[in-house]
Amino acid sequence: MKTSLSPDKNAGWQATSPVSDGDSVIAAFTGSVNGTGTSKDKRSIEIIAADKSTGKLQWSAVIDTGESPLQDLRIVGITGDSLVLSSGEPTFCDWSDRTSTTWVVDASTKKLRWKREGLMAGQVGKGVVSGNVKVARNNVAETALGGLDLTDGHTLWESPTGGSVTNFLRPDISDLAVTATCSGKNLDLIDPTSGAVLFTENSATHTELNPGWSCVFDQSTMLICQEKVSQGRIVGIDVSSPKRSVWQLSSNGDRMPPKITGAYHGIVYALVDRGKMQAVALDANSGQDLPDSPVVAPVLVDNYLGVTTEGIFLPVR
């Protein structure tokens, strides 16, 4: 059988954002597997891996998903032995379990290991797939936050959320699940292996369809989170000991919180509005201004380059 990926033939055809994995770049597509004889066409996901440098195809796999429609397919995470995909409303805050399914593909055999309908995965880390899941309690369907074993899909823990949906902020950190509830004000750091809440912070702002927080990780030990309002309060959290915030910056004192854009190895990049946006840098461990202001405030940064919304620049620090 051959997978058809033509958007003319398949209503709702879409591709995931590509994800980097070592020397490979991986993407997935929704399509259909052509039936034979009188059998119906079946919906499918085709996964393609290509060499980063040459674009040469490394491998591909087709996963049969039956006749159910797919919406907002995305790659949630890639580990050494697994590839996790999930469908469903990507903002999480307007979630319908009827369109959510999670698939775990074995990275070595390229075959489906397990799937779970009604699960919208939000993160993969420490051998656990975490996400929103529909559960039945006393014959009533409820929304819960849950963790499933990456190997076989059995449930490790479930935590009822009282009907609210949890948004996974995913600041490029896998040892902790960083979440914000859509019907509450909490920023939570959760141990994905047990569901235990290791840190919580209340937001002063809240809207029904958007989480009240955004977060960046400096690829070392500091998680920097900010309330999603103008001059929103900023909290710095040491993920190696996340019981309380290390520092906070609000507009109540003699400093104004800048808009955080990115962070890397002890430096937080941000923008201050002084009639014209000005780039600034903070010490990720203390929240204090660094003496030298950067030329730009990158949204992505590493040892070599900083990437802004306007282009690519050499990082200042």
Say how far apart CA 265 and CA 286 lie, in whole Å. Answer: 13
DSSP notation for 144-202: EEEEEETTT--EEEEEE-TT--EEE---S-SSSEEEEESSS-EEEEE-TTT--EEEEEE
The pLDDT value recorded for residue 134 is: 85
pLDDT tens sequence across 49-104: 999 999 999 999 999 887 665 888 999 999 999 999 998 876 656 666 667 899 99
Q: Tell me: pLDDT of 37 over 70.
A: yes
Where do the structural domains in the chain lie, given as residue ranges? Answer: 212-317
Query: Buried (b) or exposed (e) across 170-184, using 16+ Cβ within 10 A?
Result: bbebeebbbbbbbeb
15: which DSSP letter? B
pLDDT tens sequence across 174-206: 899 999 877 557 899 999 999 999 999 987 765
Say how far apart CA 192 and CA 96 lie, in whole Å. Answer: 23
Q: Identify the helix (H) or strand (E) that includes residue 74.
A: strand 74-78
Q: What is the CATH number of domain 212-317?
A: 2.40.128
Q: Once rounded to an integer, what is the mean pLDDT over residues 24-42?
A: 84
The pLDDT value recorded for residue 206 is: 55
The pLDDT value recorded for residue 9 is: 46
Q: Once rounded to an integer, what is the mean pLDDT over residues 137-160?
A: 89
Say how far apart CA 256 and CA 317 lie, in whole Å. Answer: 22
Give the mean pLDDT of the chain: 85
pTM of the predicted protein model: 0.86
